[in-house]
């Protein structure tokens, strides 16, 4: 059985589906601070089987010890954590507590239970502002620009030290580039409870009429069109990377690091254009000053994952955008309650959005 912490969240839920598709039994451990039990039903529908679920917090050793006592866990995929950069600046202690403290408590509970295979959801943010592209795993980790980034780097270092101290540990640090998209059925994806921080969730909410305009942060970068360039990777491809990594880690020893990206960067304007072309919805945008902490460009050299794991992202940017839009239309059709934290109009032109996407709600 595989434990997936944060398994009802955006990435974790896709990882759980991958594991179920490969015949694994799965237990999810999540405190639901940024997800809901609705994910469990979606996973069961898409996976054809249920994952077990335990409500709990990775900072709570007693809950973790009970979890390892109750289930025959062979390996852990640790996706639980907080990920909003702006919030991490305002509430650094909460971020260090969850992302570093939670990782330490988890490692302690694993060691106590004799479980030593661990995959960690890390981020390309640990590379900081890298001078050369593409970024491979030999690039030095940089100086993160916010507490979220520091918390990811600190958690990585905890795991690196741990594995150096005890050869029973087999740890995979998966450095995600920019996961976007949704399950290709359109039935499982990201459902931000707050104002989205990231490009694609924000763009989708503009497309569905929940927000008025996309603010493009900076058009004076040294990139082909002046806007920031990122390596967007389909969340289903990303999830497949976890399965491959797990195979490589089981029975191994030490720490291994893999970038999970496509190796291709797209600018903000390229993403907007691709969305309009693929999904048929124009996006209103304004150019704003650069966002503090942003780097001009960031894309992966995914060669190590290809060579060592046989993993390669297969889905195109158009696939990512189409799947994400299908999911956004599904959410709108289900009349998801929306938390409005800005002055934007609460109208959701569901029919218009669906017509534009060619998607029919069931």
**Interface residues toward ligand UD1, by CB under 6 A:** 83, 85, 123, 125, 148-149, 178, 197-199, 202, 214-217, 228, 230, 268, 291, 293-294
65 vs 136, beta carbon nearer ligand UD1: 136
Nearest to 34 by CA among 52, 12, 9: 9
Nearest to 3 by CA among 39, 44, 42, 54: 54
**Measured between alpha carbons, how far is 327 from 343 in angstroms, rounded to an integer?**
24
Residues 34 and 99 sit within 8 Å (Cβ to Cβ) = no
233 vs 281, beta carbon nearer ligand NAD: 233
**Mask of contacts with ligand NAD, 101-140, x by CB under 6 A?**
-x------------------x-x-----------------
Residues 336 and 191 sit within 8 Å (Cβ to Cβ) = yes
Q: Which does 291 bind (CB under 5 to 8 A by kind): ligand UD1, ligand NAD, none?
A: ligand UD1
192 vs 349, beta carbon nearer ligand NAD: 192
Which is the catalytic residue, given 10, 148, 202, 266? 148
Provide the 10 A C-beta neighbour count for residue 246. 24
Residue facing ligand UD1 at closest CB distance = 228
Stretch that binds ligand NAD, among 33-41, 103-111, 137-145, 282-290 (CB under 6 A): 33-41
- Shortest reach from residue 283's CB to ligand NAD, in Å: 20
30 binds ligand NAD per the rule CB under 6 A = yes
Q: Is 95 a catalytic residue?
A: no
- Shortest reach from residue 248's CB to ligand UD1, in Å: 24
**Mask of contacts with ligand NAD, 71-100, x by CB under 6 A?**
--------xxxxx--------------x--
- Shortest reach from residue 340's CB to ligand NAD, in Å: 20
Give me the residues that bind ligand NAD (CB under 6 A), please. Answer: 5-6, 8-12, 30-35, 57-59, 79-83, 98, 102, 121, 123, 176, 179
């Amino acid at each position: 059985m595989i434990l997936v912490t944060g398994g009802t969240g955006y990435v974790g839920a896709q990882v759980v589906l991958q594991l179920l598709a490969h015949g694994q039994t799965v237990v999810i451990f999540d405190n639901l601070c940024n997800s809901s039990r609705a994910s469990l039903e979606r996973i069961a529908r898409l996976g054809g089987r249920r994952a077990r679920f335990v409500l709990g917090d990775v900072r709570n050793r007693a809950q973790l010890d009970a979890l390892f006592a109750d289930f025959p866990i062979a390996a852990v995929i640790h996706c639980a954590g907080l990920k909003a950069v702006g919030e991490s600046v305002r509430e650094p202690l909460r971020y260090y507590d969850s992302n570093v403290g939670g990782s330490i408590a988890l490692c302690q509970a694993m060691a106590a239970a004799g479980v030593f295979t661990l995959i960690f959801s890390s981020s390309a943010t640990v590379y900081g502002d890298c001078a050369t592209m593409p970024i491979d795993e030999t690039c030095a980790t940089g100086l993160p620009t916010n507490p979220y980034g520091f918390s990811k780097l600190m958690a990585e270092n905890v795991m690196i030290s741990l594995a150096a101290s005890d050869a029973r540990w087999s740890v995979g640090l998966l450095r995600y580039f920019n996961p976007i998209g949704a399950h290709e059925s359109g039935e499982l994806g990201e459902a931000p409870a707050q104002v989205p921080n990231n490009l694609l969730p924000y763009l989708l909410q503009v497309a569905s009429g929940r927000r008025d305009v996309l603010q493009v942060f900076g058009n004076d970068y040294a990139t082909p069109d002046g806007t920031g360039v990122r390596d967007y990777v389909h969340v289903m491809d990303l999830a497949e990377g976890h399965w491959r990594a797990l195979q490589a880690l089981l029975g191994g020893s030490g720490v291994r690091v893999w970038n999970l990206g496509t190796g291709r960067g797209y600018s903000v304007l390229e993403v907007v254009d691709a969305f309009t072309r693929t999904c048929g919805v124009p996006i209103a945008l304004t150019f704003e000053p650069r966002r503090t902490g942003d780097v001009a460009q960031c894309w992966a050299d995914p060669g190590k994952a290809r060579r060592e794991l046989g993993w390669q992202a297969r889905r195109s940017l158009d696939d990512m955008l189409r799947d994400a839009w299908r999911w956004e239309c599904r959410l709108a059709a289900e009349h998801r309650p929306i938390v409005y934290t800005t002055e934007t109009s609460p109208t959701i032109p569901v029919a218009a959005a669906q017509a534009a996407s060619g998607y029919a709600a069931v």
